A and B are shown apart, each in its own frame.
With several copies, the nearest count.
Chain A
Amino acid sequence: MSAAQSQGDIFDVKKVRRLIELMKEHDLSEIDLKQADQRVRIKRGQEAVVYAPPVAAVAPRTSVVAAESAPVESSRILVISSPMVGTFYRSSGPDSAPFVKVGDRIGPEKAVCIIEAMKVFNEIPAGISGQVVAVLVENGAAVEFGQPLIKVDPEA
C-alpha cells in the first residue's frame, strides 16, 4: 500500500499520455508495466496479422433474420420471417393449394402461410410486394421467432 502510494497514481492521465507519446515517437506496439498490484499496459496499432496488398474485399455482414418481424434487405432480396413460434403450413388444409409458390407475384396483404400456435391458425400476410423466389421452410415444420420463411424479390 505504502509502495503504491509512494509511486503516485498510475491512473494519472498525464503520465499515461506521456507514455503514449513515447510509444508513438518510437513506434512501440506495447508497453506493460507492473509493480505490486499496479499495472499499466498499453497496446498500439495493429496488434495482429497484417495482410499485404491487394486487400481482399470482405463482404459486409448482413443479417436476414435479425429484424423484429419485418423483412430486412440483403442486397435486393427481401425475407419474410416468422413473427411467432409455431408450426408452419403452406396451405389452409391438406387438400388446399399452397398460399404461394415460387414465381408468384404478391402484394402486402397477400397471406403467404399459416403459423399454428396454441391451436390457433394465424394467417401471415406478406407485408411486402414482389415475386416469391424461395420458400425456405417445409410444410408442417416447426419455426422459431424471426426464422426466415420466404424470399421475395421486390424488383422483379
Chain B
Amino acid sequence: MFKRILIANRGEIALRVIRACRELGVETVAIYSQADRDAGYLQLADEAICVGPARAADSYLRIDRVISAAEIGNVQAIHPGYGFLSENAHFAEVCRSCDIGFIGPTPEAMARVGDKNSARALAREAGVPCVPGSDGLITSEQEAVTVARSIGFPVLLKATAGGGGKGMRVAANDLALASAWQQASAEAQAAFGNAGIYIERYVERPRHVEVQILGDTHGTMLHLWERDCSTQRRHQKLIEESPSPRLAPETRTAMCAAAVRLAKTAGYHSAGTVEFIVDQQGNFYFIEINARIQVEHPVSEMVTGIDLVKAQIRVAAGEKLEMKQEDIVPRGHAIECRINAEDPANGFRPCPGRIERITAPGGFGVRFDSHVAAGYVVPPHYDSLLGKLIVHQATRREAIETMARALKELRIEGIKTTVPLHLEVLANSAFHDSQVDTTFVERMLAG
C-alpha cells in the first residue's frame, strides 16, 4: 500500500479521498488554490500545498504545478478525483514518466475509452449494443446526410471529444441537419479544440442508466450494478439512484455483463462507469465510459456495502480484489440528491457566497458528504456542488420518504441551494411512479 498520496482535486471529492486514506492509514497531501485556502477539509490532510491562484486553469489544471507538489510532497501516487485532470491521459502519462502512481486506469486505456468514436468501436468489438449511427467521424455535410438517411431521422450529432451536452444537436430532417452540422462542429472546435462529429439515431425520452465497474491489475473486472441518473436538468444530473426502477431483470443482467465485457476489451482497470441509454422499449445502448470515480458513486456504495474509493486506491497499489462477482449483492434502495449552490427560482444561476449556518441531517439511512461548514465561503470559480445527500432504505418508497425528511432537516443559510427543487421532484407523482426519463425535470419545470 502507498505510504502517502496527493489528492489533485478540491471540495467534497477531496474530502472523500482524505477520509478513505485515513481509514487505510495512508497519509495525504492536499493541493489548493488561493480561493480554497480556508477550506476546512485541508486541515484533515497531513499536508496542504498551494498550487496557484483561484482560476482552475492556473492551479488545479496545471499539470506542472500538480506534479511539482507531488514531488515536494514526496508522494507515491496521485488521486485525481473527478473533473479537472481526472480524464486527462496526458496527465496520467506524465505521472508515469515521473514514477508517480496514478489512481485510475492506464493512460492507454483512458485514451482508448476517452474518445467517443474509438469507444464505440470497442463496444462493437465487445458485442455491446450502440445506438445505430455512423461508423466513424463524419467529414462532410454530404456524408452526414447520407448516414442520417440510412439510420433514419431524427438523428443526434455529437462531438467525439464532447461532454456535458456541448457540441450536441438534434436534427429531424435534411434541412435541419445542414445547420445542425455547422453549429455542432463549430461548437466542438471552440469547446474542445476538436471538431470531430459523429451521428447517432436520436432516442426520444431515454433513461440514463450507468454501470459501476471496478477492476484490478490482475485481470479481475467486476460490476457493482447500475445507477439510474435520468433525473437531469440540461444534461446535468440532479438525482441518482440504485437500483434503476422499472428495469427488467434480464436487461439489468445483460447491461451489467456488457459493461464488464467492454471494460475488459478496453484493457481497463480501477473504478469507472459505463453509461447507457435505455429507450422506451427497454433496449439499452452504450454511450460512453467515464474513466474515473463519479460524483454519484455513493449510491452504489450504499446498496453494495463496498467502499469504492478505498477499493480504487487498493487496486492502484497493486492489490488483488478479494471479492467475487457473486459476493456483490445489492441491498435496498439508495438515492442521492446533489446539493448545489444554485438558485432554482432564478434560472439555476450559481449562487456563491458565505454560508452563515448549516445544519446537516442525520439518523437512520442518511449520509451527507460535504466539505462545507458554517462560515465557509463558496468560491465562484468552480462548480456549485456543496455536498451530496444520500439515503439508503429497504425500498424505493421508504428511500424517498427518508430523503424528503432529510432534505427538510438540511438547513443552509446565506445562499440559495437546489434543496427546494429536490423536494419538488420527490413530491412529483411521475417520480414516485418512476416514470422518469432525461426530459422529466424540464417538463416538470415547464408544467
Q: Determine chain B's interface SS by DSSP, over half rule.
A: mixed
CB within 8 Å for A146 and B67 given contacts A37-B47, A85-B51, A87-B72: no
| Residue of chain B at shortest CB distance from A68 | B53
- How many Å from the CB of A123 to the closest CB on chain B? 16
Q: Interface code A86-121, partner B: CB below 8 Å = 1, 0 otherwise?
A: 110000000000000000000000000000011000
- How many Å from the CB of B105 to the closest CB on chain A? 23
Q: How many A residues are at the interface, by size bracket?
A: 10 to 19
- Contact status A117-B65, CB under 8 Å: yes
Interface residues of A in 68-87 (CB under 8 A from B): 68, 84-87
- How many Å from the CB of B79 to the closest CB on chain A? 18
Residues of B within 8 A of A117 (CB): 64-65, 67-68, 71
| Residue of chain A at shortest CB distance from B59 | A145
Task: Determine the distance from Cα of A143 to Cα of B51 in the docked complex, in whole angstroms.
Answer: 10
Other-chain contact of A118, B47, B49, B98 (Cβ < 8 Å): B98
- Contact status B64-A146, CB under 8 Å: no
Q: Interface code A21-64, partner B: CB below 8 Å = 1, 0 otherwise?
A: 00000000000001011000000000000000000000000000
- The verdict on B69 contacting chain A, using a C-beta distance below 8 Å, is yes
Q: Interface code B111-152, partner A: CB below 8 Å = 1, 0 otherwise?
A: 000000000000000000000000000000000000000000
Interface residues of B in 28-54 (CB under 8 A from A): 34, 37, 46-53
CB within 8 Å for A145 and B72 given contacts A66-B34, A117-B65: no
Interface residues of A in 139-156 (CB under 8 A from B): 142-147
Residues of A within 8 A of B34 (CB): 66, 68, 145-146
- How many Å from the CB of A14 to the closest CB on chain B? 22
Task: Count chain A CB atoms within 10 A of each CB in B37, B52, B69, B72 and give the residue with the most.
Answer: B72
- Interface residues contributed by chain B, number (CB under 8 Å): 20
Task: Count chain A CB atoms within 10 A of each CB in B34, B50, B59, B69 and give the residue with the most.
Answer: B50
| Residue of chain B at shortest CB distance from A82 | B50
Q: Determine chain A's interface SS by DSSP, over half rule.
A: loop
Other-chain contact of A34, B37, B53, B71, B73 (Cβ < 8 Å): B37
- How many Å from the CB of A139 to the closest CB on chain B? 14
Task: Determine the distance from Cα of A105 to Cα of B124 in the docked complex, in whole angstroms.
Answer: 69
- How many Å from the CB of B375 to the closest CB on chain A? 14
- How many Å from the CB of B386 to the closest CB on chain A? 23
Task: Determine the distance from Cα of A84 to Cα of B37 in the docked complex, in whole angstroms.
Answer: 16
- How many Å from the CB of B285 to the closest CB on chain A? 42
- Contact status B51-A144, CB under 8 Å: yes
- How many Å from the CB of B381 to the closest CB on chain A? 13
| Residue of chain A at shortest CB distance from B66 | A85
Q: Interface code B54-82, partner A: CB below 8 Å = 1, 0 otherwise?
A: 00000100001101110111000000000
- Contact status A36-B52, CB under 8 Å: no
| Residue of chain B at shortest CB distance from A36 | B47
- Contact status A145-B64, CB under 8 Å: no
Other-chain contact of B50, A37, A86, A147 (Cβ < 8 Å): A147
Residues of A within 8 A of B46 (CB): 37
Other-chain contact of A86, B37, B53, B59, B68 (Cβ < 8 Å): B68
Task: Determine the distance from Cα of A114 to Cα of B205 in the docked complex, in whole angstroms.
Answer: 59
- How many Å from the CB of A115 to the closest CB on chain B? 9
- Contact status A86-B72, CB under 8 Å: yes
- Contact status B49-A144, CB under 8 Å: yes
- How many Å from the CB of A150 to the closest CB on chain B? 18
Residues of B within 8 A of A145 (CB): 34, 49-53, 59, 65
Residues of A within 8 A of B71 (CB): 86-87, 117-118
Task: Determine the distance from Cα of A7 to Cα of B47 in the docked complex, in whole angstroms.
Answer: 15
Task: Count chain A CB atoms within 10 A of each CB in B37, B59, B68 and give the residue with the most.
Answer: B68
CB within 8 Å for A85 and B69 given contacts A66-B34, A117-B64: yes
The 5 closest A-B pairs by CB, nearest first: A142-B72, A117-B68, A85-B68, A144-B50, A145-B50
Please give 12 more A-B residue pairs, beta carbons under 8 A apart, in addition to A85-B49, A86-B72: A37-B46, A37-B48, A85-B52, A86-B71, A117-B68, A118-B67, A118-B68, A118-B71, A118-B98, A145-B49, A145-B52, A146-B53
Q: 29 A–B contact pairs at CB < 8 A?
A: A34-B50, A36-B47, A36-B48, A37-B46, A37-B47, A37-B48, A66-B34, A84-B65, A85-B50, A85-B51, A85-B65, A85-B72, A86-B68, A86-B71, A86-B72, A87-B71, A87-B72, A117-B68, A118-B64, A118-B71, A143-B72, A144-B51, A144-B69, A145-B49, A145-B51, A145-B53, A146-B50, A146-B52, A146-B53
- Chain B contact residues, CB within 8 Å of chain A: 34, 37, 46-53, 59, 64-65, 67-69, 71-73, 98
